[in-house]
Amino acid sequence: MNGQESQANVEYFFRLLYDLLFGGHGGAGFSGLAALAAKIWLWIIAVGYALSVIGLVVIVYCLVRLFELREHEEHAYGELVLAPESAGGENPRWTHIESLMAGDSPSQWREAILEADIMLDDMLSRQGYSGEGVGEKLKQVEASDFATLQEAWEAHRVRNEIAHSGSRFDLSETLARRTIARYEAVFREFHAI
């Protein structure tokens, strides 16, 4: 084997490239390559237009369905039903708490305080505070946003003692009324009652 047979003929490949670009010996030439590129570009444009039209049809369909859905929701949920706390009327939960406080037994007063704390928890959740319980929610409250924050803390502390001690906690009528009055002050500040 001589050295020429093992080497690639570089000149041959350059000649093929030259013939392809500029024509010669049956090659397509540059004009042929340009015509091929133009045909490919026309196909790209046609496919692009087709995809654009399909996309536009999908967008219009989605918009029509969205407006139909909104119309259906407006028809189904059009009337806004306000909770008793925000309707300005008498709050049935607070009425129940007051009826428990009107009782003679400490167990009724305990229940009234526990119910008032649940009502406070719900009110804080509606205000946008999050947490596991009233204590965690009250920690997030800014004093400037909540004029009765101290009353809420004091009432919640009594509730915690009741919850942890149960009937062993000596709840006097005075303490029960004072605690419910603190809850009432908080609820009146936020127009919940």
For 76-104, write each residue's pLDDT tens digit. Answer: 766 544 444 444 557 889 999 999 999 88
pLDDT tens readout for residues 118-143: 999 988 888 888 888 888 888 888 88
Query: Are 174 and 105 within one domain?
Result: yes
- pLDDT given for residue 30 in this prediction: 61
Q: Please tell me the total count of domains within the chain.
A: 2
Question: Last residue of some domain: 20, 52, 77?
Answer: 77
- Give dist(CA 36, CA 103) in Å, integer: 96
Kindly report which listed range (112-116, 133-137, 142-146, 178-182) carries the lowest average pLDDT score: 142-146
Residue 65: pLDDT band (50, 70, 90) is very high
- pLDDT given for residue 132 in this prediction: 85
Query: Are 65 and 38 within one domain?
Result: yes
47 inside domain:
yes
Other C-beta atoms closer than 10 Å to the C-beta of 15 total 14
pLDDT tens readout for residues 2-61: 555 556 778 887 877 777 666 665 545 566 667 777 888 999 999 999 999 999 999 999
| CA trace torsion 131, 132, 138, 141 (10° rounding) | 0
For the chain, report the end-to-end CA distance as a whole number of angstroms: 107
Crossing angle of the two packed helices 29-77 and 10-22, in degrees rounded to 10:
70
Output the six-digit token pair for 108: 């009724």
Query: Are 100 and 50 within one domain?
Result: no
Percentage of residues of the chain with pLDDT beyond 90: 29
The range of the structural domain enclosing residue 57 comes to: 10-77
3-state secondary structure of 88: coil
86 inside domain:
no
Q: Is the dihedral of CA 5, 10, 11, 14 positive or negative?
A: positive
Q: Which residues contact 26 (CB under 8 A, 6 or more apart)?
A: 19
CATH of the domain at 153: 1.20.120
- pLDDT given for residue 190 in this prediction: 83
141 inside domain:
yes
| Ramachandran class of 2: left when φ > 0, alpha when ψ lies in -120 to 50, beta otherwise | beta
CB 101 within 8 A of CB 176: yes
